[in-house]
Structure 1
Amino acid sequence: MPDDMDFMFKPIVLVTGFGPFVNHPVNASWEGVKLINKDEIEKKHNVELVLLEIPVTYENVDEFVPALWETHTPKLMIHVGVSCIAECFTLEMQAHRKGYQRMDYFEKCPANHTCPAEGAIRLHTKLNVERICKEFNDGNSHEDNTKAVASKDAGRYLCEYIYYTSLSVDNTRTLFVHVPDSHVYSAEQTARGLERILHLCLDQLNDDQLAGKMNDANLDDKA
């Protein structure tokens, strides 16, 4: 019997939403995240889905997010936050290390307005965000008025801060999604849209993994 028992455990997919903050006593991100159909995602992709609410403080991000990566080694990490200007699902492509001058829930900013996570001044996700948006929009039914767009401006607040923190750990399997407030999409619409984004991300990761294995096999054949 092999010593490595990892095959007995399903890969973990982590999705976080944010808790309340000023002008958002009920945060649409967490309201949508907590309604995601865990059973459907887990059965289709053979993963364990973990849904977490994160307080809107820089210190909590610094403490919890690296620990989540270390503890769970997720197959995919998706952070979700609300945007008062978003009119649809907004998939962020990048995050910056500096420029965090807005006060958090405890009226604090990070030291020197800089994320302590180590990395370049700007980090990009290696997930193909534009492809995810296209597949999301192409798959819409006539009854579904939701859509997805790509963005390069995550807002220099907790949303971008948590994104940078995770991108600094692994940018090949990290994404941030801004969702509109509840008067634009209901919690149920947000949940259904996030489920579709999850499916598309996991399909893309699986496709890339398969392509990598095929390339390795081709290289072995030529050796």
Structure 2
Amino acid sequence: MPPPNVVTTDAAADAAAGQAVVGSKAPDSPTSLKNHHHPHRVFKVYVTGFGTFEKVPINASYIVASSLPSVLPEKYIQHAPESVKSQHLQVSIIPHVEAVPVSYDKVTKLIPTLYQDLPGVDLFVHIGVMPFGYYRVEERARKGPYGPPEGDPNGRADVDGKYPENNEAGRAARGKVPKEVHEILSGLDLEAICKDIENAKKDSTDDFEVPKVSNDAGLYLCEFIYYNSLAESIYDDEAKYESEYPEPRPVTDPTAETPTSSRAIFIHVPSIMTDEWLEKSKETVKRIIGAIAVQRLSP
């Protein structure tokens, strides 16, 4: 059998189905399988999308997340430098088996489970919707405030009618985040990723858009899940990253003035539910994932 970060092309579809997470229980991760030769360097991606909330009866983010291919076609990584191409990079995508509830409590419980049970995942991609006709990659996540009375008086309760405890993500990473950490930044060069996608668009007839870099994820469940995910990747010693492939740069930096992690990303897609827009959203997300995989593995 191949090691946990390696799947054959034929096995990718089985992985997408067989390793899907039911509720907040993540799939078994065979991390004990080591040192098996395989011609591919597989970059494993786990993708979540949200469920219904407020005036969004069907959430485009989960439609997109659950419709991505189990293996990203090569055209999405063809801009990779020779040092990456020589590894025969293969990007494997595993979707969460159900839409993530728009619930602070459920997100708080889900994220540590995913990271602990899936130590071989290279990148966690979280997708959410916004009421605009463009795409965003988020470069920071704030601890709070998420709602009244301490936070924005117009802050919104979740689908359970609740706000997080103390109106902040204080339970992130099982409460192990230092109190002085009020925000976490992406360790990715998101401007460069957008530039790569812009360059790809010049030579492609595919329908996708170049995302914008944003530093305001909205202080609702989108930013909340992102903060929890970034924090989990840095601070929870029960959820260590176990990739067997070395990368040219550290994936996390807890000692930076503002801590950083490149193991998670949040993507905002339009909430528009027409077939045309859903296809555009899928294509744009695939472009983003491919660009991140290449950047993570490039010197």
**Smaller-chain TM-score range?**
0.7 to 0.9
Residue number in structure 2 paired with 1:174: 264
Structure 2: give runs of 5+ residues left out of the alignment: 1-31, 78-88, 148-155, 234-260
Partner of 2:68, secondary structure, is coil
Alignment of 1:207-222 (within 5 A): 207=298, 211=299
Cα distance per residue 1:78-118 (max 9 Å; x no partner) = 1100011x331100000100111120011111111010212
State the match for 2:58 in structure 1. 26
SS at match of 1:14: strand
Residue matched to 1:99: 145
Percent of aligned positions with the same letter in both sequences? 30
- Give the number of the structure whose residues are more often helix, by fraction: 1
- Structure 2 distance, partners of 1:34, 1:186, is 15
Structure 2 distance, partners of 1:47, 1:138, is: 20
Cα separation, 2, equivalents of 1:35 and 1:5: 29
Establish whether residue 50 from structure 1 lines up as the match of residue 94 from structure 2.
Answer: yes
Partner residue of 2:45? Answer: 13
Counterparts of 1:103-122 in structure 2, within 5 Å, are 103-115=157-169, 116-117=171-172, 118-119=177-178, 120-122=181-183
1:33, CA displacement in angstroms? 1.4
Q: Cα deviations across residues 131-157 of structure 1 (Å, max 9, x unaligned)? A: 111111221136636221000000000
CA distance in 1, matches of 2:142, 2:113: 21
- Work out whether residues 184 and 231 of structure 2, in 8 Å CA contact, stay in contact via their aligned partners in 1: yes
The superposition leaves residues 7-33 of structure 1 with CA deviations (integer Å, 9 ceiling, x where unpaired) of: 459653111111111111010111111
1:148-163 to 2 correspondence within 5 Å? 148-163=211-226
The answer to whether the Cα contact below 8 Å between 1:12 and 1:72 also exists between their aligned partners in 2 is no
TM-score calculated relative to the size of structure 1: 0.83
Asked if residue 195 in structure 1 is aligned to residue 286 in structure 2, the reply is yes
Counterpart contact for 1:41–1:199, Cα < 8 Å: no
For the residue of structure 2 that corresponds to 1:38, the secondary structure is coil
8 Å contact 2:123–2:263 — kept in the other structure?
A: yes
Unpaired segments ≥5 residues, structure 1: 212-223
Given that residues 47 and 126 in structure 2 are in contact (C-alpha distance below 8 angstroms), is that contact kept between their aligned partners in structure 1? yes
User: Using the alignment, how far apart are the partners of 1:5 and 1:27 within structure 2?
Assistant: 37
In the alignment, the residues of structure 1 paired with residue 33 and residue 60 of structure 2 have an alpha-carbon distance, to the nearest angstrom, of 39
The root-mean-square deviation of aligned C-alpha atoms, in Å, is 2.3
What is the SS of the residue equivalent to 2:71? helix
Count how many residue pairs are aligned between Structure 1 and Structure 2: 204
Q: Letter of the aligned partner of 2:106 in structure 1? A: N
Paired position in structure 1 for 2:236: none
- Asked if residue 133 in structure 1 is aligned to residue 178 in structure 2, the reply is no
Asked whether the equivalents of residues 129 and 150 of structure 1 are also in contact (C-alpha less than 8 Å), the reply is yes
Amino acid in the other structure paired with 2:33: M
User: Helix, strand or coil: the match of 2:133?
Assistant: coil
Q: Deviations over 1:158-192 (max 9, x none)?
A: 00000000111231211100001225862111111
